[in-house]
Amino acid sequence: MFVALLLGYFLGSLPTAYWFGALRGRNLLQEGSGNPGALNAYRVLGPVPGFMVLLLDLFKGILAVVLGEGVAGSPLGGLAGGVGAVFGHAFSPWLAFRGGKGLATGAGVLLAVDPRMLLGSLLLFAILQALFRRPYRVALAVALAQPLLAALLHPSFAFLLFGLGLGLPVALRHLKDWDR
């Protein structure tokens, strides 16, 4: 299980948005929002690189789950790999433990683990966004709701921990934008 977590962390830590920016002579840590994620890549580099970063970040999450299951020989390894990927994306050692907000990588993890969790998260986001119109606060709320959503769909301690591990790095990365 620990190897799956580490493998997921390594995959998630690969700063695709930052590297896309560097290929174009741009530093996403210093431009736009300063966030090395898909949305800032879209804003600074344009729609095609932004979309490519989004797809690669989704793929990092999916791959971490698949490889985690394979390494551990059980679905629990996939959960560990997925959690590791989101932590790695949010706190990348390649960027002095800075990173993206983890939304695209987390979406890839949810898609690989149980697409219903991704749909539930998107539905909750849409409802809260329609009510409050504060996307950063809504993303924080949805991240904090992950343990509940995971436990509702899969009533087990492992999935409760998975939801907590998935939501925690996303919530931590969204805290700095509370006033937005």
- 180 pLDDT band, cuts 50/70/90, is low
Global confidence as pTM: 0.94
Does residue 175 carry a pLDDT above 90?
A: no
Residue closest to 3 by CA, chosen among 60, 52, 76: 76
- 150 pLDDT band, cuts 50/70/90, is very high
Runs of H (alpha helix) within 29-132: 38-45, 47-72, 75-90, 103-113, 115-132
Looking at the chain, how many residues does it have?
180
The Cα 79–Cα 90 span in angstroms is 17
Does residue 33 carry a pLDDT above 80?
A: yes
- 176 pLDDT band, cuts 50/70/90, is confident
Contact 83, 11 (CB under 8 A): no
Token duo for residue 117: 């969790």
111: part of which helix (H) or strand (E)? helix 103-113
Which residue, chain included where needed, has tokens 């695209």?
104
Does residue 179 carry a pLDDT above 80?
A: no
Sequence letter at residue 68: G
The 10 Å Cβ neighbour count of residue 175 is 10
The Cα 98–Cα 91 span in angstroms is 5
Query: Can you name the residues that pair with 92 across neighbouring β-strands?
Result: 98
Q: Report the SS3 class of residue 46.
A: coil
pLDDT tens digit string along 81-127? 999 999 999 999 999 999 999 999 999 999 999 999 999 999 999 99
pLDDT tens digit string along 1-28? 999 999 999 999 999 999 999 999 999 9
Query: Can you name the residues that pair with 98 across neighbouring β-strands?
Result: 92
